[in-house]
Structure 1
Amino acid sequence: MKRRIALLTALAALTASPYSFGETAFPQKGVTFIVPLAAGGGTDILARKLALNLGAIWGQPVVVENVSGASSIIGTQRVARAASDGYTLLVTTNGAIVSNRYLFKSLPYDPDKDFIPVAQLADIDMVLLAHQSLGANNLKELVALAKRDPGKVTYASYGNGSQPHLLMELFNKREGIQITHVPYKGLGPALTSVMAGETMMTLTGRGSGDAAIRSGKTKVLNYNSDKRDPLHLEVPTSEESGYPYFRVATWHGVFAPRSTPKDVVAKIHRDINKVLNQPEFREDMAKRGYAIPTRTPEEFAAAIQEEVKATGEMVKAAGLAPE
């Protein structure tokens, strides 16, 4: 009789559990997202929206902590050294995982060995945004203009090693032209310089550049994507323009310390996908110019390695030496 009661009690507890049979019981306490970038930026906003929705699914608090500084190195290192239990996760962009390996002689973490890609949250295709006065309306016309006046046309970047810097220097090398680099301390100042006509162009995410586009002071020369932007169907893609290599995208992703159990990684990935597929979440991301990918952790990892190779080529073209 006592055994029967004990069995019934155990079955009742299993039925009441929020986890289905065989599913990893994660999380059992609060989870921390480390964002190695300043509060208020695109990565921070996305991390906080994800945290709010995951918290509702998990019934546990998900806290976002901004640990910025040193080109994302400080926050990224903290996650690399965290316990491999899934309770401390990194929410970051390309720089920490891809670019930093080329920009610094040594890193306090190994971007390949210290992390497991858990989920890709968003892809942000870039646009080549130019001042209205620029005498070119597409990449072919830009190449012709740069050949006529070497060094006269300028582009703004958000610092040495940033995506505009790397891609434009590859463009210079491939096409045998000289478009002059003007580095700024961040995307905001770079966009402001283009709107004011201080520099002639920059690369930005469509969402980030929306205000500049709507201002009437700028124009879009090119869209770095597989498909045309539905909001700017008149703008060709890089491949349509004849420059398929002229492409770079920013992504946001979630990473766990390397030895995190596979079942925990799989559970986090599944639950993040639940959030990404919520209609309200997808609608908000679309307004920001973010595309939501459907990659598995393995596919995300493979895409990162492809990007590592492409970035290496751009760094070489830019003549950058690690500091």
Structure 2
Amino acid sequence: MKRRIALFGALASLLVCTHAMSQSHFPQKPVTFVVPLAAGGGTDILARKLAQQLGPIWNQTVVVENVSGASSIIGSQRVARAHPDGYTLLVTTNGAIVGNRFLFKSLPYDPDKDFIPVAQLADIDMVLLAHKSLEANSLKELVALAKKDPGKITYASYGNGSQPHLLMELFNKRENIQITHVPYKGLGPALTSVMAGETMMTLTGRGSGEAAIRSGKTKVLNYNSDHRDPLYPDVPTSAESGYPYFRVATWHGVFAPKGTPKEVVEKIHKDILTVLNQPEFREDMAKRGYGVPTRTPQEFAAVIQEEVKATGEMVKAAGLKAE
């Protein structure tokens, strides 16, 4: 009996050591980044840049797989159902983790319970971009103009439930004004409509809207950030303009399926942080208008929960119902 107990103890110790070794030596095979959006977009580009830098660190291939469709649901579901070992990770934006819970009555995944936040890759502060003919040059002037002509001013969004839609409807409600929503199928068409004067304004990331800004056909009314953009130092922030709530930002992040060992999550986070802190990587992101945070997984989780609260308020203001 004593020999059996000793044997079982030795086997248990061996299993524990093997498990710990496999975690400390992660990864031991290729890792897949699932991007639930189409190839060529900002999330896809960022995922590929990250994969390229992580490959040499891990001495493994990092594959980026685009699994788009159904408002990021298909790709997100795939990761939620993946084996929780760190070899299948989700690289996504706010929509899959925050927005979808308000837009759909049911999801095949639980945004809070089925994913572990691993790392926040980038913040993208938005600018309020207007056609040059708009007779307002600030948020205060915009409110005054909207009160003078209710419903006459229009704004473009990249779809019902998108961040521009939600924030502008919250703006309408809080300031007791009516700026009319015109939804488009994507940011590109929305920007084109503003440049052509078909609509008067839209919200966009500074990097995404740079061509429109440089065209001379538009102007920047407001910068949604805690600090002014060094490229547009004369444009005030929302807080400086007296509307601190008028702010929404897009982020990119990496998530692991629930049940992924803590040691593996910490290893992935540490190595991603190594990439994010590379001067050339940060410089490239800055050119694209991306901020590069270095939050812990716990801090990233807190950011998400705060955004859930704010988005809930915007959805209510917009009068949206889950479908």
* TM-score of the pair, normalised by structure 1: 0.93
The answer for the alignment partner of 1:311 in structure 2 is: 311
Distance (Å, rounded) in 2 between the aligned partners of 1:56 and 1:136: 51
Partner secondary structure for residue 295 of structure 1? coil
Distance 1:256 1:168 in 2: 33
| CA distance in structure 2 between the aligned counterparts of 1:116 and 1:189, rounded to whole angstroms | 34
Q: CA deviation at 1:23?
A: 7.5
> Which blocks of at least 5 consecutive residues in structure 2 are unaligned?
1-20
CA distance in 2, matches of 1:246, 1:180: 17
Give the whole-Å Cα distance in 2 for the aligned partners of 1:101 and 1:307: 12
SS of the residue corresponding to residue 39 of structure 1 reads coil
C-alpha separation between the residues in 2 aligned to 1:247 and 1:192? Answer: 23
Alignment partner, residue 122 of structure 1: 122
Q: How large is the RMSD of aligned CA atoms in angstroms?
A: 1.0
Distance 1:54 1:294 in 2: 16
Letter of the 2:226 counterpart? D
Residues 83 and 257 in structure 2, CA contact (< 8 A), matched pair in contact too: yes
Other-structure match for 2:296: 296
Q: What amino acid sits opposite 2:138 in the alignment?
A: N
| Contact 2:228/2:236 (<8 A) preserved | yes
Q: What SS does the corresponding residue of 2:166 show, helix, strand or coil?
A: helix
CA offset digits 1:162-201 (Å, max 9, x no partner)? 0000000000000000000000000000000000000000
Output the CA distance in 1 between the equivalents of 2:304 and 2:258: 16
Alignment-derived partner of residue 184 in structure 1: 184
- 1:264 aligned partner: 264
The residue identity in structure 1 corresponding to 2:299 is E
Distance 2:220 2:175 in 1: 20
Aligned to 1:154: 154
Task: State the alpha-carbon separation in 1 of the partners of residues 244 and 286 from structure 2.
Answer: 24
The residue number in structure 2 matching 1:202 is 202
Aligned to 1:238: 238
State the 1:296 CA deviation.
0.3
**SS of the counterpart of 2:24?**
coil
CA displacement at 1:22 relative to structure 2 = 11
Q: Distance in 1 between matches of 2:167 and 2:121?
A: 23
Letter in 1 for 2:296: T
- Deviation string for 1:53-77 (max 9, x for gaps)? 0001100000000000000000000
| Distance (whole Å) between structure 1 residues aligned to residue 22 and residue 257 of structure 2 | 24
Q: How far apart are residue 280 of structure 1 and its match? A: 1.0
How many pairs were matched up?
303
Displacement of 1:278 in angstroms is 0.9
Measure, in 1, the Cα distance between the counterparts of 2:264 and 2:35: 20
In 2: Cα distance, 1:23 partner to 1:96 partner: 28
Deviation at residue 24 of structure 1 after TM alignment:
1.1
8 Å CA contact 2:23–2:264 kept in 1: the answer is no
Is contact 2:276–2:294 with CA below 8 Å preserved after alignment? Answer: no
Give the distance between the partners of 1:192 and 1:99, measured in 2 at CA: 25
Match of 1:64 in 2: 64
The separation in 1 between residues aligned to 2:306 and 2:280, in whole angstroms, is: 32
Which secondary structure state, in structure 1, belongs to the residue aligned with residue 34 of structure 2?
strand
Q: Which range is displaced more, 21-30 or 224-233?
A: 21-30
In the superposition, the TM-score normalised over structure 2's length comes to 0.93
What amino acid is aligned across from residue 44 of structure 1 in structure 2?
Answer: D
